Amino acid sequence: MFARLTVTMRVPLTRCLLGSLRGQPGQARALFTLQDHSKKPSSVPLTKESFKQLRRGDFAEATPDDLSKLKELVKGRIETDKDDLLKHNCDWMRTLRGSSPCVVFPKTTEEVSAVLKYCSSRRLAVVPQGANTSLVGGSVPVFDEVIISTKELDDIIDIDADGGTLSCEAGCSLKTLEKKARKKHLFFPVDLYIREAQIGGVVAADMAGPRTARYGNLHGNVLGLEVVLPDGTVLNSMSNMRKDNTGFDLKQMFVGSEGSLGIITKVSMACPPRPKFINVAMVYTESFDHVLEIMRLAKEQLGEIMSACEFMDNDAVMSVKQKHLTMWGVPSKPYYVLIETAGHCDMHDEEKLKFLFNLLKDKELIMDGQIGPLNYDDPTFVERLWNINGRILTALSSTGNVYHYDVSMPHSKQYPLVQKLRQEAGSDITKVASFGHLLDGNLHIALQSESFSADTLDRLDQLITENVTAAGGAVSAELGCGFKSRNLGAHCKDPVEMKLMRDVKKMLDPQGIMNPYKVFPDSQ
Ligand SMILES: Cc1cc2nc3c(=O)[nH]c(=O)nc-3n(C[C@H](O)[C@H](O)[C@H](O)COP(=O)(O)OP(=O)(O)OC[C@H]3O[C@@H](n4cnc5c(N)ncnc54)[C@H](O)[C@@H]3O)c2cc1C
């Protein structure tokens, strides 16, 4: 039987680590293979050598005169030392390495503008870079593009507690913004997956997570942007207003544009009041149909206080090192649902959650069992449960090669796909684990094998792309296209949409200097 399953604590919303992923050359659908982030950047092969079929664009090569000029434009804040450049040239997953001769660190919008104007006049290709945590290789050069870092653009401009808005420069980290918002009793509405990520990069990548369904995505929460266009023109769309119906909402084009249209220099965000109480619980169940019924009832019963509803299957949870699960009192069960509420009245929230559990039990939707430790004074309880979810990919990667897919599709089609993969993925796949953000139909599938094989990758790409597109889904739900998944658009976007995207790109960036070889399929 369940013991008391709800725990109410005054704890901050916790982070959920997705894991690290890796791509391989020349595939229609990018491979994500988990990699060792501790690997030395110098040991990573150069991207231009791994992807031999790629041709360098018709851009100028930066000369010593160019470097001197750029140095002057950013008042000396330039890095040209080969060793120090490595961490900027190499991606977070240690799978790609460019050979940029420099990274510049502009401190003001004017400096960003001057740098872009100069690069445009010289036809030098550029890569905007935030914290360089992109999992799809969006933030590193492919050849010798000039890296423009937003690290020095780190001022908070304004926090309006009454209006619930925060505006800042693009280089502010999520960690800083969460802290600043918290001080004003506001909630910064971006999941803290990776605390060093910068808001400019987060907006450019249109980052999402488990709590997106509750707090909205960045297309809704970004109220204003300042963007420097490739020719150096400054587009000022900064605003703290939630309503502005005058003309086109042009800033939306830059949310998720992955550095292909301009450099975001300032951001204004809507921040809701910070929830005071977080409740979290895990339930175990026998079938995926039950998982979906639990989600439906949770939505119905918890309503506005539900902040996340995550699903994990047995293969996913059991991959997390046994010692953690024993320590955290999590048994082996077919399916797990992690439910989080975030509200302002602990009694009310707890009562609602208790009612939900009783209902789930009465309907025999959840199996007997209990989670622990049920210690009301244990401040790590919430984090432990979230940690199971967050460690799945890294745990799987520590015992083999992992092909990872991040897809969106109708709920009813999700687990049938996982089961189909178990049947059809091939004999070299030893485990198919899945987990996902139920509230926004985002499923992560991790297929484990002893070692990487390009043939397996091709087979899996095809199998997954076919099934996801046939179900009306998207083959990249939240990680973007960047370099590794650049060819995906051709599979899942309407040709008219692709043409309009290309037209917009040509209009804003006629020379194609902004983050080339990213977002758009090779053939285009
Ligand atoms: C462990 C881990 C887990 C993750 N989990 C998730 C997840 O679950 N969901 C999810 O959505 N993402 C996830 N991510 C990736 C996530 O997209 C990034 O962490 C974050 O959004 C990017 O922030 P950044 O500052 O590192 O940007 P970068 O990685 O530096 O850049 C990201 C992209 O934006 C461009 N860019 C950067 N700054 C600017 C700017 N100022 N203007 C214009 N373009 C710019 C870059 O060129 C690049 O294309 C994860 C990353 C890691 C390392």
| Ligand 1 contact, 24 CB (< 6 A) | no
Give the model confidence (pLDDT) of 323-376 as tens digits: 677 767 778 899 999 998 888 887 888 888 888 988 999 999 997 544 333 344
Q: Which of 416, 464, 417, 414 is nearest to 438 (CA)?
A: 414
Residue 313: its pLDDT value, please? 96
Query: What confidence tier does 114 reach under pLDDT thresholds 50, 70, 90?
Result: very high
**Average pLDDT across the chain, whole number:** 86
Contacts of 483 (CB under 8 A, 6+ apart): 23, 47, 96, 136, 137, 138, 140, 142, 517, 518
CA of 382 to the centre of ligand 1 (A): 25
| Domain boundaries, given as residue ranges, for the chain | 8-18+277-394, 156-270, 399-494
- Ligand 1 pocket test: pick from 21, 188, 207 the residue with the most ligand atoms within 8 Å of its Cβ: 207
Report DSSP letters for 222-238, one per residue. EEEEEEE-TTS-EEEE-
Rounded to 5°, the CA angle 4-8-13 comes to: 130
Given the CA of residue 203, which atom of ligand 1 is nearest to it?
A: 21
Domains 156-270 and 399-494 share a fold: no
Residue 2: its pLDDT value, please? 30
| Ligand 1 contact, 138 CB (< 6 A) | yes
Give the model confidence (pLDDT) of 310-325 as tens digits: 999 999 999 987 767 7
Report DSSP letters for 66-92, one per residue. HHHHHHHHTTT-EE--HHHHHHHHB-T
Contacts of 390 (CB under 8 A, 6+ apart): 15, 16, 17, 18, 19
Work out the average pLDDT over 116-132: 98
Give the model confidence (pLDDT) of 402-446 as tens digits: 888 889 999 999 999 999 999 999 999 999 999 999 999 999 999
Q: For 50-54, 113-117, 126-130, 177-181, which range has the lowest pLDDT when averaged over its residues?
A: 50-54
Pair of tokens at residue 329: 């009192």
Alpha-carbon distance of 347 to 360, in angstroms, equals 20
Work out the average pLDDT over 281-294: 94
The CATH architecture annotation of domain 156-270 reads 2-Layer Sandwich (3.30)
Half-sphere exposure of 359 (CA within 13 A, CB side): 16
Work out the average pLDDT over 450-478: 85
- Ligand 1 pocket test: pick from 16, 32, 126, 129 the residue with the most ligand atoms within 8 Å of its Cβ: 129
Would you identify the CATH topology of the domain 8-18+277-394? Alpha-Beta Plaits (3.30.70)
| Ligand 1 contact, 432 CB (< 6 A) | no
Pair of tokens at residue 408: 């969106």
Alpha-carbon distance of 301 to 289, in angstroms, equals 18
Burial of 513 (0-12, 13-18, 19+ CB in 10 A): buried
Burial 324-335 (b: 16+ CB within 10 A, else e): ebeebebeebeb
Give the model confidence (pLDDT) of 19-40 as tens digits: 222 222 222 233 344 445 556 8
Q: H or E element: which one contains 221?
A: helix 218-221
Measured from the Cβ of residue 21, the count of other Cβ atoms closer than 10 Å reads 27
Alpha-carbon distance of 269 to 267, in angstroms, equals 6
| Ligand 1 contact, 120 CB (< 6 A) | no
CA of 1 to the centre of ligand 1 (A): 43
Protein residue with least CA distance to atom 28, ligand 1: 132
Class of domain 399-494: alpha beta
| Ligand 1 contact, 256 CB (< 6 A) | no
CA of 132 to the centre of ligand 1 (A): 7
State residue 423 phi and psi, 5-degree precision. -80, -40
pLDDT at residue 16 greater than cutoff 50: no
Given the CA of residue 171, which atom of ligand 1 is nearest to it?
A: 41
